[in-house]
Amino acid sequence: MKLRPGPVVACLLFFNAAAALAQDKPPAAADILFEAPQLANTNPGDELNYSYSQKSADPAKYGKAFDDKVKLTIDEAGKAPEERNVRVDMFSAEHRRPAGPFESMSGNPVISLMLENNIQQLSALFRANPRYLKNAIRAALREAQTAPDKIDGQAKAWRVEIAPFRNDPQKERMNGLDTLTYVFRVAPDLPGAVYEIDIAARDAAGAVLLEETLRYDGKKS
């Protein structure tokens, strides 16, 4: 999943996204999630904090529930004006995951980190090839629609929602997780742009089987 466009492309995407917001014209999902210069409105020394929650209806089937934190530290500017060098603290104690550091990033790495964490978890649960799961998510994102949204403190935002396994030929092996939906909410004016990522599967009655939620929890400068 491409996260680092060149300087000219990034600038064009920035202005295209701003124009789209002004006209309420949805940008392409891949552009707003993976191509836009999401870190351009951060500065060296900034800390972007995110809360993380995992809920599980059955620890044996879907893994244990827990709450934790993810922190991005902006170390310094990257090679291009919109790029940053980033350190990541992903979870703590026994839940800690290796992440980065990332050099000359224009996109916010929390999107790819959340997806990678989810894919590794699903792969372990189903004994599935991670590449198969990743390809399904990529295919869904290529077809995804972007809708206007609103979040607290931000005039406008964008929402992208996909259900990559709904029609998967192997869904009977997924213990109900073929219902997984991935919801991304981003706001270009928010530091780091990413406000929330929610990945959830529910049963026929609407009860949560497994849910992972990452939500922006503020910035320290």
Q: What is the pLDDT of residues 46-103, one digit of tens each?
A: 999 999 999 999 998 898 999 999 999 999 877 888 899 999 999 998 999 889 899 9
% of the chain beyond a pLDDT of 70: 88
Residue located via tokens 């951060």: 42
Q: pTM of the full predicted structure?
A: 0.86
Residue 55 lies in a domain: yes
**H runs (alpha helix) in 71-206:** 110-126, 130-143
Q: What pLDDT band is residue 157 in, cutting at 50, 70 and 90? A: very high
Q: With the CA atoms of 10, 13, 14 and 19 taken in that order, what torsion angle do they form, in degrees rounded to the nearest 10? A: 170
Residue 94 lies in a domain: yes
Tokens of 143: 């077809």
Residue 122 lies in a domain: yes
Residue 2 lies in a domain: no
Residue 90 lies in a domain: yes
Residues near 171 by Cβ (< 8 Å), separated by ≥ 6? 165, 178
- Whole-number Å distance between alpha carbons of 55 and 69: 15
Domain of residue 73: give its range: 7-220
Residue 145 lies in a domain: yes
Domain count for the chain: 1
Q: What pLDDT band is residue 159 in, cutting at 50, 70 and 90? A: very high
Residue 54 lies in a domain: yes
Residue 116 lies in a domain: yes
